[in-house]
Amino acid sequence: MRLEKSIKKNMGLKNPVIAEIKVHSPKYGDLLRNRDPFYILKAYEKGGAVGISYITEEKFFKGNFKMFKLICDESNLPVLRKDFIKNKNEIERTAEAGGSAILLIARDLKEKTPEFADFAISHGLDPLIEVHNEEDLKFALESKGLIGINNRDIRRLEKDDGNVSVTKKLSPLIPEDRIIVSESGISTIQDLKVALKYADATLIGTAFMKAEDPEIIVRKFVYGVVN
């Protein structure tokens, strides 16, 4: 199932949460803590997530593409690849690995964003176009796909805590027919509640990875707030 379809299917039934398997955080360090990534995956699925995100970037987040492919093979949910995508070969690799969606960062791709989004769609992937400010948003609005509002500035590599105020600021500028995903800086139910006033779904990683029982915390976020 495609990521956008999974989000739409669950809107109104539960809080659409994309749960991220994040090996390492530039701010918090080792998040996997010797746990099996497939244990995390199955916990997220049981907790009610609408999709899985995995970061393949190696230098700062310690991810790897091989694990992404294995997660795609094992997951019953659509899988989003997050990385700093700079060329179309990586889009092709993502599709070949069985991915359902790919992150495209408008700040990096700029005027190439629409072209990369179309290329992803032509390969069966949902593009999640990430923005952080109005300049980024301009490129996203010229493109097809979901729009991810990153509450953190990617240039700071998670050195700041972020907050959902960026989602609150940018979401009114986005047409109602576009699916909005609020990313990063969501660590409490209250954060989630605010984010979902302005976005259709959320993407949460660090808060889930830091928890002792990932299934319980995902379930709490997915079912713990009535929209």
Active site residues: 20, 22, 82, 130, 150, 183-184
What the block records as the tokens of 144 is 């097809």
CB 192 within 8 A of CB 213: no
Q: Are 95 and 72 in contact (CB under 8 A)?
A: no
∠ CA 150-217-82 to the nearest 5 degrees? Answer: 35
Cβ–Cβ under 8 Å, residues 202 and 17: yes
Cβ atoms within 10 Å, residue 161: 12
Query: Hey, which residues does 89 pair with through a beta bridge?
Result: none
